[in-house]
Structure 1
Amino acid sequence: MLADQIAGLIRSRLLDPVEILFGDAADLPARADDLARQLAATIEGEDEQAAVYAIARLVGALYPSDGPFDPPIDWWRTPLGRATARRMGHPAARAVSYSVAGAMLGVTKQGVFDLVQRGKLTKDADGGVTTESVKARLNS
């Protein structure tokens, strides 16, 4: 599932534009599939540092921007979004809104509020939830 999403993102965000610019790129889809399987295995593997590095490579290559990475809420419900939340929290934020935390955790905004009230998530000084506490919750 994760490898399929990564392969689809590589094709649509990277390979399709290259093919438009340069023409036939027949061997690239197979190479992208191989890379996607390798990256997924690394992300789902035991080596935390290698997983975080693989996610950072993917996010940097697939979502280039001059600003910080800020995916839509639904992205957190995808296989890559769930893996990112579990491995590194949010790649570009120390804290997130209750809505984003809910998407990362697979619960409602009210569910996040309840978890904060019960001390299961840490409220940030600016009113959100710390990504470290979301990550810890996902990994407990």
Structure 2
Amino acid sequence: MDPTGLVEQLIQVMSNRLLDPLEILLEDPVVDVRARCERAARIWAARLTGPNATYAVASIIGALYPSDDVFDPPAGWWRTPLGRVVLRQMGFPGKAAVSYAVAGEMLGMTRQGVHDLVTRDKLTRHPDGGVTVTSIQERVQLKGPRT
């Protein structure tokens, strides 16, 4: 995976969630912190795409998407560079299965395309409905997501 898109997304999320609010609260630009975040984004991108990235994925999700609720990004997030890395490295934190629509976003295809793959036993239907995240991960490892 080309880490450029991942670095850019990490910088954008840090800017939106951390730096812009900090500038508003401090009523002053945080140029030095912004530069440090840009350097950190390159380091985190390497960690996220390297071996044993589970801790890095959990750390980034916890820091950039904090919530008292279970992590549940919008379906389209799975098509972003960070979404693709999270899927490959960790699946969907806290979920064993996802809806056909979310599976489609993860795989870069329509919900109908996911249904067809389940029918042809290329993806595994979860007993409680939806598609198992494990089978989606296996498909992405084998075929890669559609872009």
Q: TM-score, normalised by structure 2?
A: 0.88
- CA deviation after TM superposition for structure 1 residue 26, in Å: 2.2
**1:109 aligned to 2:114?**
no
Number of the residue aligned with 2:38: 33
Note the residue ranges of structure 2 that are not aligned, 5 or more in a row: 143-147
**1:2 aligned to 2:2?**
no
Q: Which AA in structure 1 matches 2:16?
A: S
Q: What do the CA deviations read for 1:52-86 (whole angstroms, capped 9, x no partner)?
A: 21121111111111110111111111111111111
Quote the Cα distance in structure 1 between the aligned partners of 2:121 and 2:83: 24
Number of the residue aligned with 1:17: 21
Runs of 4+ in 1 over 3 A off after TM superposition: none
Count of equivalent residues? 137
Number of the residue aligned with 1:70: 72
CA contact (8 A) 1:70 1:92 kept: no
Q: What do the CA deviations read for 1:7-44 (whole angstroms, capped 9, x no partner)?
A: 11011101112222234322111110111111111222
Q: RMSD of aligned C-alpha atoms?
A: 1.2
Following superposition of structure 1 onto structure 2, how do residues 123-134 of structure 1 map, counting pairs within 5 Å?
123-134=125-136
Q: TM-score, normalised by structure 1?
A: 0.92
Which residue of 78, 81, 104 maps to 1:79?
Answer: 81
